[in-house]
Amino acid sequence: MRPSVIDDFGMPVSSYPLYRTESKVSDFEMTRACPGGAPSSYDAACGDWVVNTAQPSSPPYNTTNANARFMPLIDDDVYPNIGDRLSDAGISWAWYAGGWDQVNSDPSKVPQFQFHHQPFLYFEDYAPGTPGRAHLRDSEEFVAAAKAGALPTVSFVKPYASENEHPGYASEPLGSANLVELVRAVVEGGSAGNTLVVVTYDEFGGQWDHVSPPTGDAWGPGTRIPAMVIGRSLTRSGVDHTRYDTTSILATIERSFGLEPLGTRDASVNDLAAAVAAGGR
């Protein structure tokens, strides 16, 4: 894979309204080579790291973009993921994606399906023909299983693009309606009594945050993002001021089931126990 060349602010090719790349850059799979001598103004961006949108090389593929770049499949034995940890422990789980069944049968019916939003497609153990593939399901199955009280122990749900509330291309009303449908399927269904719902986002829906991120490592924390913890057994609403990041969800799963952490961050980050306590359980 080829290295990107980023500008002086650490940005690759961008044409967003509030930031347009002016200098000569190259938007490839990897970050730029580390400069020699004194550290650059954006030293954290240098090195062999995948940036931006590198597509998974396991089908279903992105066949509509002639410039799409594909990552080699990751060896789960070397770099395990949370699905691997759950499977090894005999814990049932599934990743539910909006449009999954259709993209595997007739991709033309789901033109906004986002292949790069399916994390398990990047790993060898979830390629077609592997046992792990059975964990990849359609989000309609999640709704049916939640209503019937037949959810696996751990579920991940990724809405279809037009329903994921991403600024710029998604519909906020469609996204909100989809979220309400998913949550109601749980809290009004047969799985409600022992299910904790965590709703969060990968971006915060704006362009600026008036609170500076705390000191972290090369990858964050970044700007704040919303998160909600929902459960029928929680007795009150509340706001929890504990510091979390997205790996707090991993930590919650790992500590709930005695799983080995995947890395240094989820090993040390706060899990969501304090947020659950804020709900009065």
Going by pLDDT thresholds of 50, 70 and 90, the confidence category of residue 207 is: low
Per-residue model confidence (pLDDT) at position 48: 66
φ/ψ of 131, rounded to 5, equals -60, -35
Going by pLDDT thresholds of 50, 70 and 90, the confidence category of residue 14 is: low
State pLDDT tens for residues 103-126: 999 999 999 999 999 999 999 999
State pLDDT tens for residues 76-102: 999 999 999 999 999 999 999 999 999
Do the bridges between strand 197-200 and strand 227-230 make them parallel or antiparallel, or are there none, so unpaired? antiparallel
| Mean pLDDT to the nearest integer, 251-260 | 98
Examine the pLDDT at 31 and tell me if it is beyond 70: no
Q: Which residue has the tokens 């993209």?
A: 103
Examine the pLDDT at 169 and tell me if it is beyond 70: yes
Alpha helices in the chain (DSSP H): 82-88, 100-105, 139-148, 172-187, 247-257, 264-268, 273-278
Distance (Å) of CA 84 to CA 23, 91, 126, 228:
42, 10, 10, 26
d(CA 112, CA 155): 23
Per-residue model confidence (pLDDT) at position 90: 98
HSE-CB of 122 using CA atoms within 13 angstroms: 17
Selection from 231, 233, 268, 229 nearest residue 248 by Cα: 268
Q: Which residue has the tokens 């040390």?
A: 268
d(CA 49, CA 66): 23
39 DSSP β-pair partners: none
Q: Which residue has the tokens 């292949």?
A: 115
State pLDDT tens for residues 216-255: 776 777 788 889 999 888 889 989 999 999 999 999 999 9
d(CA 55, CA 119): 10
Per-residue model confidence (pLDDT) at position 39: 47
d(CA 153, CA 257): 10
* 199 within 8 A of 165, measured Cβ to Cβ: no
Per-residue model confidence (pLDDT) at position 220: 73
Characterize 53-78 residue by residue with b for buried, 16 or more Cβ atoms within 10 angstroms of its Cβ, and e for exposed.
ebbbebebbbeeeeeebbbebbebee
Q: Which residue has the tokens 């710029």?
A: 168
